[in-house]
Amino acid sequence: MNKRFFIGIAISLVFYGVVQALISGEILNDFYIDTLVMLGVNIILAVSLNLINGFTGQFSIGHAGFMSIGAYVSAIMTTNLGYSFPLGLLCGCLAAAVAGLIIGFPTLRLKGDYLAIATLGFGEIIRIVWLNNDYVGGAAGLNGIERVTNWSWIFFGVLVAVVVIQNIVKSTHGRAMISVRENEIAAEAMGINVTKYKVIAFVVGAFFAGMAGAFSAHYFYGIAPTSYNFMKSFEILVFVVLGGLGSTAGTIIGTILLTLLFTYLQDIPEWRMVIYSMILILTMIFRPKGLLGNVDVTKFFKKGGASKNGGTTTTP
């Protein structure tokens, strides 16, 4: 907790106040509020996936599964059982975290592609569970969920997710996670409990994915299993990869760019996927590590800057 941290918080609170004033003054219409909520949900998803994929180096593509757990559990709590939204939100997050723990232990022995396939399978299993369960509406999903999520919820949700994950990453635990990404055997030889840190990354990542799921469920009135298929997992992965694996700032920027692009391209549906894909291909050619891959933006604000050693990295 240093000066820069509080300045960052202060600036984001000012941003929050300005947007809130614009919403209260009805200067921002529903379209903009929809977009802001989408942005917030996507940022939470991407930043939490970045903890698993970017910092800890585990290739997970089951994030939509954790998101759906948060969405369904919170919606069941509020809509079916009549509890308050904060309690539903908390239960959604915790249920997703528990799922992260359950899937974590058996699958984290797997590496690379094998882990990717296992997490993909996990995401699909969760979706099939919702699809075949009449209590949660089967294929039609749960409808009539009250709209509770607003700019305040989304803003503070994003703030908590970013602050918590940044603090983990900058702590000794974060160091240990990055060392697992860099070289698992060396990390283990240093006495770092590799499995423990992988599981922590999975549990924290899943917790926030659940939070994003609960927010989106309580904004768009209804949820259905199809919203959480593997395409959704890939969409989140693309945000992270385009922004830069292992860079929180890059992930946020990548998510904002792609979400806005996707929203504005809705006017030309026939070209939407073409342009979207072209941008992804070009980014990967010219910035293979993502927009801000491995660049620690905070270094630019430190004395002396990052010009010397911080920016570029070469892996032999």
Partner 1 sequence: MLSVKDINVYYGAIHALKGVSFEIKGGEIVTLIGANGAGKSTILKTISGLLKPKSGTIEFAGQPIHGKVAQEIVKRGMSHCPEGRRVFANMSVEENLELGAFLRNDKKGIAEDLESVYVRFPRLRERSKQMAGTLSGGEQQMLAMGRALMARPKLLLLDEPSMGLAPLLVREIFNIVQEINKSGTTVLLVEQNANMALSIAHRAYVIETGKIVLAGAAQELASSDEIKKAYLGG
- Give me the residues that bind partner 1 (CB under 8 A), please: 172, 175-176, 178-179, 182-183, 185-193, 246, 294, 308-309, 313-316
Nearest residue to 255 via CA among 29, 15, 94, 35: 35
Q: How far is the CB of 313 from partner 1 (least distance, A)?
A: 5
Q: How far is the CB of 223 from partner 1 (least distance, A)?
A: 39
Token pair for 148: 């509770």
Dist CA 108 CA 198 (whole Å): 7
Comparing CB distances to partner 1, the nearer of 132 and 171 is 171
Comparing CB distances to partner 1, the nearer of 124 and 188 is 188
Q: How far is the CB of 181 from partner 1 (least distance, A)?
A: 8
Q: How far is the CB of 114 from partner 1 (least distance, A)?
A: 16
Q: List the alpha helices (DSSP H) in the chain.
A: 3-24, 30-50, 63-75, 85-107, 112-131, 151-170, 172-182, 184-189, 194-217, 230-243, 248-264, 269-286, 298-301
Q: How far is the CB of 240 from partner 1 (least distance, A)?
A: 16
Are residues 58 and 201 in contact, defined by beta-carbon separation less than 8 angstroms? yes
Are residues 151 and 175 in contact, defined by beta-carbon separation less than 8 angstroms? no
Comparing CB distances to partner 1, the nearer of 2 and 314 is 314
The β-bridge partners of 223 are 142
Dist CA 94 CA 259 (whole Å): 27
Comparing CB distances to partner 1, the nearer of 152 and 183 is 183
Comparing CB distances to partner 1, the nearer of 34 and 182 is 182
Dist CA 51 CA 66 (whole Å): 14
Dist CA 206 CA 91 (whole Å): 13
Q: How far is the CB of 293 from partner 1 (least distance, A)?
A: 10
Comparing CB distances to partner 1, the nearer of 190 and 278 is 190
